[in-house]
Chains A and B, each alone.
Chain A
Amino acid sequence: MSGLLEMGGYGAFIWPAYGVTALLLGAAVVLTWRAYARARARLAALEKP
């Protein structure tokens, strides 16, 4: 387990890289989808007869 964390001594560089990748790509997906859902909901509410 500690071997996985240490990554041959490079854990301090490798894990943050995975972290920032997950964070930024996750945020891009969530924000993109949220804006889309919001626009769709607003338009649907307006176009309702």
Chain B
Amino acid sequence: MASLFALANPKRFMDLSAALLPWLAAAAALCLAAGLILGFLAPPDYQQGDTVKLMFLHVPAAWTAMMAYGVLAAASFVGLVWRHPLADVAAKSAAPLGAVFTVLGLVTGSLWGRPMWGAWWVWDARLTSFLLLLFLYLGYIALWNAIEDELRAARAAAILGLVGAVLLPIIEYSVNWQTLHQGESIFRAGGPTIAGVFLWPLGFSALGYSLLFFTLWTVRIRTEILERRLRAVLLMGAA
């Protein structure tokens, strides 16, 4: 915990993230390129043909959307318990990115559902709970914008962020309830049940999406810190 608090010092965060950022961005770009190229070149699946390519776009987007919410909820928790402003900034900075990945998961899922299920959308547990994740992100962002006082906004948003985390296990387990969506085939007892030729591009793609999220998240946290410093400088100038 001590090291976490050391990192939570904005000055130290700025120094460390500046050093880390180029590496993070490069790793994200490499993994994304590898995942997308390998995925594009993957052979057609024996059942779903070329639409298997959609897996490398849809699954990583959906995973990253959920991971981003996990990050948001964890930062909210730290912000609520230890009242650290950097944790509030970290939670706030994750939300718009999470919303983008959620939209991507929904749109690519729909484009996959139409040819494979014959429906763009069905109101089953998995799809509906994932749509709720989008609304949760949007509500969280709206709450931040609705309250002018930064501290009060951070408190309220952190509570919503934390409470909303109940959605994550619901999304996770919803594939076991009446659904068209396929069940877990990667992280399951007995190992993944998809062929290596699909598993590799999926792995790179997922890693690339997560690293892209962490890269952009870091930049957004830095931006928010700079903007707060900017406001402080302006206030001092006005006083």
Q: How far is the CA of A13 from the CA of B104 in the complex (A)?
A: 14
Q: Is the CB of B53 within 8 A of A24?
A: no
How would residues 109 to 124 of chain B score, 1 for a CB under 8 Å from any chain A CB and 0 otherwise?
Answer: 0011011000000000
**Of the residues B61, B219, B226, contact of A32 by C-beta under 8 Å:** B219
Which of A10, A17, A39, A40 lies in contact with B107, CB distance below 8 A?
A: A17
A43–B230 CB distance below 8 A? yes
Q: A13-B111, A17-B108 are in contact. Are A35 and B223 (CB under 8 A)?
A: yes
The B202-224 residues at the A interface (CB cut-off 8 A) are: 212, 216, 219-220, 222-223
Contact B107–A32 (Cβ < 8 Å): no
Report the contact-size class of chain B (Cβ under 8 Å from the partner).
20 to 34
CB < 8 Å: which of A18, A29, A40 contacts B57?
Answer: A18
Shortest distance in angstroms between A44's beta carbon and chain B's nearest beta carbon?
Answer: 10
CB atoms of A24 and B49 under 8 A apart: no
Instruction: Kindly supply a per-residue 1/0 record for chain B positions 31-43, scoring 1 wherever the CB is within 8 Å of any chain A CB and 0 otherwise.
Output: 0000000000000
In the complex, B51 has a CB within 8 A of chain A: yes
Q: Answer whether A46 and B111 are a contact pair too, CB < 8 Å, given A8-B44, A28-B97, A35-B223.
A: no
How far in angstroms is the closest Cβ of chain A from B36? Answer: 8
Q: How many residues of A contact B (CB 8 A)?
A: 27
Cβ-based interface call for B227 (8 A):
yes
Interface check B103, CB cutoff 8 A:
yes
Cα of A18 to Cα of B50 in the assembled complex, Å? 13
Whether A21 pairs with B223 at a CB distance below 8 angstroms is no
Pairwise interchain contact B111-A24, C-beta atoms closer than 8 A: no
Partner of A13, one of B51, B222, B227: B51
Q: Can you list 10 A-B contacts (CB < 8 A)?
A: A10-B115, A14-B54, A14-B111, A17-B107, A21-B57, A21-B61, A32-B223, A39-B223, A39-B227, A43-B229
A-B interface, 5 closest residue pairs, ranked by CB to CB distance from nearest: A39-B226, A7-B50, A8-B50, A36-B223, A8-B49
